[in-house]
Amino acid sequence: MNDQTWNNPGAGATASGADMQSWRDWSDNTVDRVFAARNFSEALIDCDPEDRLDLLEYAHEFLRAGMPMVPFGGVMDQAAFWADIASRTELKAYCLACYTRLSPRDQRAFLAYVQGGKGA
């Protein structure tokens, strides 16, 4: 459903089949994800309490992006690709580790860039 259809209920009769199919796909995907999350939560609750943290840590290790690597292509393209699949924890850890290893001048330029300035 697009903005035009949402804001104009009478336009629903003219909404394309593609718009409706897109909404159905989104809806089905959302419901599937909710059920999967619920099933995972119930399975976790069913685990022995002493095993829960180990299971979560193993799942995180298995699903995380791992170490960034630049075998081919540009460094920025590879960094963006890795960041797209990295966990929140990985993003924060690598960001802080990289930032603390920059020179003071590069740190200032980086901060100016991420805060909307032009940087150096």
Q: What is the pLDDT of residue 117?
A: 66
Let me know whether 58 and 81 are in one domain: no
Q: Residue 115: helix, strand or coil by DSSP?
A: coil
The token duo for 11 is 């336009």
At 18 the pLDDT is: 72
Task: Tell which wins on pLDDT, 5 or 71.
Answer: 71
Residues 48 and 97 occupy one common structural domain: no
Structure tokens at 1: 């459903």
Could you tell me if 71 and 59 lie in one domain? no
Kindly report the pTM of this predicted structure.
Answer: 0.42
For residues 58 and 79, state if they share a domain: no
Same domain (yes/no): 75, 27: no
Q: Is residue 45 over pLDDT 70?
A: yes
- Could you give the CA distance from residue 30 to residue 20 in angstroms, rounded to a whole number? 15
User: What interhelical angle do 17-46 and 49-63 show, nearest 10?
Assistant: 140
Region label for 66, one of left (φ > 0), alpha (ψ between -120 and 50) or beta (otherwise): left
What is the domain extent for residue 19? 1-63
Per-residue pLDDT averaged across 85-93, rounded? 88
Report pLDDT digits (tens) over 53-68. Answer: 888 888 877 777 666 6
Q: Are residues 55 and 38 in the same domain?
A: yes
Beta-carbon contacts of 94 under 8 Å, excluding residues fewer than 6 positions away, are 68, 86
Mean per-residue pLDDT for 2-16? 54
